[in-house]
Amino acid sequence: MKIFLTGATGFIGTHLAGDLASRGHDLVCLVRRSSNIRELENIGAEPVMGDVQDRRSLLPGMSGCDALVHLAAATSFWEHDSEIYSRVNTEGTRNVMECALESNIPRVIHMSTLHVYGRPARKPFDEQSMVGPVRFSEYARTKYEAERIAWGLHIKKGLPLVVCCPGIVLGARSAGNGTSFVERLLDTIRVHRAFLTAVHTFVHVRDVVEAVSRILSRPFPDGQRYFIAGECLSIRRLAALLETSSDARLSQGGVSGSAARIAGTAFAAVTDILGKSPFRGLSRDYLATLREGVSADGGRAARELGITYTPIAQAISDELQSMESRGHLADKRRARRYPMMLEIVYKAQGDDTSMPGYVINISESGMFLITRKPYAKGRYISANLSGKNPGEFFMARGRVVRATPGGVAIDFTHRDRSIRDLVRKLGKRPSSPATA
């Protein structure tokens, strides 16, 4: 079978391309000029330069194809150019589906996500459940619109379509495949522990690949939607599995849910002002998605496609092994003694009492402090921090140089020498909050 594949250099795409090639299929893979195509060339796939945003680049590669699998998407929870979600996820899907119709491709698989359902009334929800009224990220919103476009073409123009909605996909990753949920959890456990009871649906990448392969290898189930959903786990349970598998000692205390929401507001505000990616990827959209969770039933795919879901403990083990091979896990193990968000006590000029706060970025010259109320530019703030280990303590006084709805950037005018040691232990490069 000749298969046209978008998103072939992404996380799911690299696994799927390798699987389909091993089964003897001929692959035509849409790639951008910036893509690393070495793995595709190694498995004998044919790379075709193009972009889902450019309709004219799609048709030549689709000619003569027996199937199309559309994986390409903007999947992050923050982009400097927020319109990229609509251009790639929504309009890009429109281009791909319309070109598939024009090319008379008899099998089209669109990869969606469980997050398009938002907050359904039923938990766990299944393929027959009503979609909730709200989506919690631009990614989910634009993927929802993309699905509507695909189903519209199926109903009105006869597009032969199957939609797959996986949960959070885990498993071994190659370098350059983005930051996974597991990596972000290891990096920011204190924030994640504010949502210990939130339940999310996880699935091994090999199960997603197996589902697609089985759809292609049997009579095409035109017009069907499949949830590829392995296990529903709380953040508490996932953290326990990670702790067992990685020796990462994740049992340190967390921040409160309200503090995490304040942090999200602060991160988003700093992001908007500086035009840089959120600290550790903790954007407003990510925290909202983390808080809401998604609990889905993947039984239909198991019954109708005959897949057996891989235990999520195995998915975590596979992902940790790939992190180990890239040297990422050792770095995270070393960093576990030091929290992502430093708890401090601060006092602003003119205030009668001290207040608790959190530092999300600190250097020898300044810091960004999450505060419960706004402070004007030029206001002086004194801060005290006691670290987790003996001797970790600093005192600093600084002037507010930038104010956001959730926090302030402070340049130090007086600081204790121990800040230098603390910054070095935290692995921060000396820099000012204005450029951090």
* pLDDT for the residue numbered 389: 54
Residue 115 DSSP one-character state: G
Cis ω on the peptide bond leading into residue 160 (within 30° of 0)?
Answer: no
Categorize the per-residue pLDDT at 338 as very low, low, confident or very high, splitting at 50, 70 and 90.
very low
Residue 407 DSSP one-character state: E
* pLDDT for the residue numbered 269: 62
* pLDDT higher than threshold 50 for residue 281: yes
* pLDDT for the residue numbered 30: 98
* pLDDT higher than threshold 60 for residue 431: no
Categorize the per-residue pLDDT at 306 as very low, low, confident or very high, splitting at 50, 70 and 90.
very high
* pLDDT for the residue numbered 433: 36
Instruction: Give pLDDT tens digits for 247-273.
Output: 655 544 555 566 666 666 666 666 666
Instruction: Give pLDDT tens digits for 145-165.
Output: 999 999 999 999 999 999 999
Rounded to 5 degrees, what angle do the CA atoms 26, 30, 32 make? 145
- Please give the model's pTM, rounded to 2 decimal places: 0.79
Compute the distance between CA of residue 377 and CA of residue 379 in angstroms, rounded to an integer.
Answer: 6
The residue that leads in pLDDT, 204 or 385, is: 204
* pLDDT for the residue numbered 240: 84
Ordered structural domains, the chain, with CATH? 2-238+277-334 (3.40.50.720), 342-426 (2.40.10.220)
Beta carbons within 10 angstroms of residue 214's beta carbon = 16
Weakest mean pLDDT among 127-141, 232-246, 249-263, 339-353? 249-263
Side by side, which strands form the sheet with 67-70? 46-49, 26-31, 2-6, 67-70, 108-111, 161-166, 224-228
Residue 283 DSSP one-character state: -
Q: Which residues of 371-402 are buried (b: 16+ CB within 10 A; e: fewer)?
A: beeebeeebbbbbebebeeeebebebbbbbeb
Please say whether the dihedral angle defined by the alpha carbons of residues 35, 40, 44 and 46, taken in this order, is positive or negative: negative
| Residue 101, φ and ψ in degrees, nearest 5 | -60, -50
Compute the distance between CA of residue 266 and CA of residue 264 in angstroms, rounded to an integer.
Answer: 5
Instruction: Give pLDDT tens digits for 393-426.
Output: 778 889 998 877 667 888 898 888 777 777 776 6
* pLDDT for the residue numbered 64: 97
| Residue 81, φ and ψ in degrees, nearest 5 | -100, 95
With a pLDDT cut of 90, the percent of the chain lying above it is 50
Helix (H) or strand (E) holding 154: helix 138-157
Instruction: Give pLDDT tens digits for 12-68.
Output: 999 999 999 999 999 999 999 888 899 999 999 999 999 999 999 999 999 999 999
Q: Are 135 and 120 in contact (CB under 8 A)?
A: no
Whole-number average pLDDT of the chain:
85
* pLDDT for the residue numbered 194: 73
